[in-house]
Amino acid sequence: MALLQISEPGESTAPHQHRLAAGIDLGTTNSLVASVRSGVTDTLPDKDARHLLPSVVRYRADAAPVVGYDALAAATEDPLNTIASVKRLMGRGVEDVKTLAEHLPYEFVPGSSGMPLLHTAGGDVSPVEVSAEILRTLKTRAEESLGGELAGVVVTVPAYFDDAQRQATKDAARLAGLNVLRLLNEPTAAAVAYGLDQGGDGITAIYDLGGGTFDVSILRLNKGVFEVMSTAGDTALGGDDLDRLVADWIMQQAGMQAGASHVDMRRLMLAARTAKEALSEQTSTTVVLELDGTANWTGELTRDRLDELIAPLVEKTLGPCRRALRDAGIRAGDVQSVVMVGGSTRIPLVRERVAGFFKTEPMVDIDPDRVVAVGAAIQADILAGNKPDSEMLLLDVIPLSLGIETMGGLSEKIIQRNSTIPTARAQEFTTFKDGQTAMSLHVVQGERELVDDCRSLARFELRGIPPMVAGAARIKVTFQVDADGLLSVTAEEQTQGVTSGIDVKPSYGLSDNEIETMLRDSMDSAAGDRDLRRLREEQVEADRVLEALHSALASDADELLGDAERKSIDAAAQALAAVRRGDDYREIKRAIAAVEQASSGYVERRMNSSIRSAMAGHKVDEFNAP
Amino acid sequence: MAADHSTTHFQRFDLPQSFDVDAALLDERYRDSQRAVHPDRFVNASDQERRLSMQQATLLNEGYRILKDPLRRGRYLLELQGYRFDDEHHTTSDTAFLMEQMELREALGEVREADDAFAVLGEIMERIDGDLDQLLGELRQQLDSGAAADLQQAADCLTRMQFFRKLQDEAMELEVELEDELA
């Protein structure tokens, strides 16, 4: 007979173990890590009390990469090896980089699978690896501050990031040894930080102008539920571009020649950024430009002149704002509050235009540089399990439509933009040749009609279709977008019930094999043995399965399980517990599958029951209301 | 493990199967049920629970999407009663309707040349809204009656509403474009 566990009424029997969790804002210009400690959420500083970590990585021959302020300091002298704004390259291909490369001083070499590599003194590195270095630094900072290993993190991404950009971010986090609990959209993170859900039903617009990306999201907030109504943006528009406009002006004023050296270009950009930032506080500033071989140039830049220079780009941000309103089915006047995110929102002209557009003064109380990390930390705390009674629910959306390439190079939309995630769509296909056993699907992302005008996401190659007469096969392909906004594809031939194997070939990303290789290479040799890693993974999963089963049975076995079913579940669980202590990962995997099979009906019933009681819960409240 | 496909979206939210839906109640049921099954609740759970959570959350999102929009809801009700829509061959022999579609299309095409494009566009959008409202009223009657002949009428009504919905989307796209150009 199982031991009875006596606990206080209302208390869960599971131990309340605080898990260390953090939120990470992996920004174009600066990155931050934040965490909830003793009920207070704050960003974590380095040992010099600096909260921001410049998203800059410097590669050197025969030495470890340098990340942050030290790397930034070297940026003007060593531009080719000092990678800044790598976020702009995440999930991008060789062709994209050619357009971006005009402004970037780096040397690119083509890598495999359409991904460009950066040629540095420390070797050829992918944008994913560069981002991993930044994340590693933040991981160390967090673990040192919090005094332990991180159980998991929430990493933020621009809401308008496509699948390739999101996957690249997740890959970078894996490479850095982080367990990603969720990829969270930056505007949603900001909404969480402001806690606007507390004030009753309301519609909020989040205007997020970062270093390299622009997002606008419209959210409905009510009693803990953050429902994204729509999102729009531009992943190639940010503070960096405003810097460029100022730099162009300085170049002209200073009589600088085109084709200046990389070093001079960096100095120019730095002078432009400094001037732009100064003008948020002052109405005029002195610009000093040091160039090689010539005397320093100084000039005066006024706020009025700055406003003239940047006005067209600021206007450009209002286009996505209009689209977001339209997709949400509301007017500007329906928006009750506006939140500003990103350093560039300190610029007075930006605040003015946004206030005028939404007809409401924007909220700027929380440091616009830190607000995203703070929101991510709040969610990380909840997802890690530290707040079992939390009612917070984030219902986000996929920002761009997904389509399949069909005859004539057209994109047939299978999932609409601004659909709440997770979401799925099933589509049936058939073969066109007798005996055909394979099929290739090209998935793209975007709103245009032609495949060529959309972003190519990946090719999904289905294998193992049972050979039949042409047209007889009924292959049901399910496109599933998860809560991170990432697509996965499964396929089953319906007449014979055969699941197809699927090879995923990302258009701008690393394949599973490549990631595996990188993970293996980055680990030290002791833990690098593939089989050992698999064993650990299966053991962790086995523990989860047994723990979940134990607490489920403790709470509702009496109501939801008959004797026969209970016996078979117990038997399977015991078998799993036995092999878990062994070292054969395949055996553990089989035992887990056996437990899943024995308990599948039970798990499903539990979930349906929890849905019903959640829906009924409200009725009870209303009845008991005073 | 299969998700429960025999449940209708109405059953999923414990709502009566009818065209009229209490919008506030639907919202509440949706939020409450998502709170119970959303993947965010199962981040540390077993693979099995995570898969099931994703399936359930996906079904809830799908059900909500369909039930909260009258057009989709109407179509769904007809499908539940065995009616099959063939999107490729939707035709209507209602000449008055076809004429109106052509007029509206032309009018949209001429908006840019108008002196006050926004006002003209605004009028067109109001007209489309009015047409949709009227058809919505007809749809409601036809679906509530339940008689077979009325179901066929309801299907026709939905087909026409779909045309208007598409025009509405185009009009809104045009409005956004005009606003962009003006800026």
Q: A250 CA to chain B: closest CA distance, Å?
A: 26
Q: What is the pLDDT of residue B92?
A: 66
Measured in whole angstroms, how far is the alpha carbon of residue A560 from the centre of its chain? Answer: 38
CA closest to A483 among chain B residues? B39
Contact list in A for residue B40 (CB cut-off 8 A) is 182, 379, 382-383, 393-394, 483
List A residues 222-281 in contact with B (Cβ-Cβ < 8 A).
Answer: 222, 225, 227
Cα-based distances in Å from B160 to A225, A307, A367, B124, B139: 36, 49, 51, 17, 11
Is A326 close to B57, i.e. CB distance below 8 A?
A: no
Omega before A45 cis (within 30°)?
Answer: no
Which of the four pLDDT bands, split at 50, 70 and 90, describes residue A96?
Answer: confident
Encoded amino acid at A93, one letter: G
Task: Confirm or reject contact between A580 and chain B (CB < 8 A).
Answer: no
Output b/e per residue, A24-46; b: 16+ Cβ within 10 A. bbbbbbbbbbbbbeeeebebbeb
Distance in angstroms (rounded) separating the CA atoms of residues A502 and A518:
22
Per-residue confidence band for A9, with pLDDT thresholds at 50, 70 and 90: very low
- Neighbouring CB atoms inside 10 A of A112's CB total 10
Compute the average pLDDT of residues A203-222. 94
- The rounded Cα B156 to chain-centroid distance in angstroms is 15
- CB burial of A288-311 (b: ≥16 within 10 Å; e: otherwise) equals ebebeeeeebeeebebeebbebbe
A552 interfacial to chain B (CB closer than 8 Å): no
Q: At what angle do helices B95-110 and B148-182 cross, to 10 degrees?
A: 10
Q: Which two tokens stand for residue A49?
A: 């009390």
Is it the case that residue B40 has pLDDT exceeding 60?
A: yes
Provide the 3-class DSSP secondary structure of residue A151: coil
- Can you read off the two tokens belonging to residue A59? 């590669």
- Is there a contact between B176 and A319 if contact means CB atoms under 8 Å apart? yes
Query: B40, A182: Cβ pair inside 8 Å?
Result: yes
pLDDT of A378 over the 70 cut: yes
- Tell whether the model's pLDDT for residue A481 goes beyond 60: yes
The mean per-residue pLDDT over the stretch A162-183 comes to 96
pLDDT band at B5 (very low <50, low <70, confident <90, very high): low
pLDDT at residue A163 above 80?
A: yes
Catalytic positions of A: 25, 87, 186, 208
The answer to whether the Cβ–Cβ distance between A319 and B180 falls below 8 Å is: yes
Rg, C-alpha atoms of chain B: 20
Residue B102: Cβ within 10 Å count: 10
Is residue A286 within 8 A of residue A300, CB to CB? The reply is yes
Residue A160 CA to residue A186 CA, distance in Å, equals 9
B140: its two tokens: 């409601």
B152 pLDDT above the threshold of 50? yes
Q: Given A384, A421, A615, which is nearest B14 (Cβ)?
A: A615
Q: Chain B contacts of A545, Cβ < 8 Å? A: 46-48
Residues of B within 8 A of A610 (CB-CB) are: 36-37
One-letter amino acid for residue A156 of the chain: T
Tokens 């990585």, located at residue: A57
A539 to chain B, any CB pair closer than 8 A? The answer is: no
Cβ distance B61 to A420 less than 8 Å, yes or no, reads yes
Interface mutation vs chain B, best among A393, A417, A494, A622, most B CBs within 10 Å: A393
